[in-house]
């Protein structure tokens, strides 16, 4: 599996009684889940994130509503926007990916699956620090 930011189409089992989507470690994404958290009740206009991780890989899924994940390309100083609005689409974010989440719809719920347990020292909260890490490799 590629270690690039990418959208992943998850299995969608359609049924007249309601659809079902599932995830399996290593089948749908390249890591075992160590932590799960979700963000919700984000006030209109607010932004979440604004950081990268040193080691952590992450999957983000919109369980309800919609939001945009903005991924900064440090080489070109451009950004890519990934709109998540279907629960069968997942966004894979490898380590050293600068991101923030914005444009939350009413009642949006973002599910985050992480490859590591919470570690405050794994966060890179300054984009210039991330650029330095990548440059010095």
> Where in the sequence numbering do the catalytic residues fall?
51
Q: Is the dihedral of CA 2, 3, 9, 10 positive or negative?
A: positive
Which residue shows structure tokens 């009413």? 106
Tokens of 5: 């930011």
Q: What is the C-alpha to C-alpha distance for residues 109 and 21, in angstroms, rounded to an integer?
A: 16
C-alpha distances (whole Å) from 48 to each of 32, 41, 42, 77, 104 are 24, 11, 8, 20, 10
Cα–Cα nearest to 102, from 61, 64, 45: 45
Strand partners, 38: 111
């Amino acid at each position: 599996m590629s270690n690039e930011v990418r959208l992943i189409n998850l299995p969608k089992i359609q049924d007249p009684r309601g659809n079902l989507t599932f995830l399996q470690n290593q089948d749908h994404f390249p890591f075992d889940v160590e932590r799960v958290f979700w963000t919700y009740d984000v006030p209109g206009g607010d932004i979440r994130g604004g950081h990268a991780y040193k080691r952590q890989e992450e999957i983000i899924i919109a369980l309800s509503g919609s939001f945009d994940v903005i991924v900064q390309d440090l080489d070109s100083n451009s950004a890519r926007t990934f709109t998540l609005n279907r629960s069968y689409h997942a966004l894979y974010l490898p380590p050293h990916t600068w991101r923030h989440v914005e444009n939350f719809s009413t009642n949006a719920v973002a599910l985050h699956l992480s490859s590591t347990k919470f570690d405050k020292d794994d966060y890179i909260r300054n984009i210039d620090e991330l650029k330095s890490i990548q440059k010095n490799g």
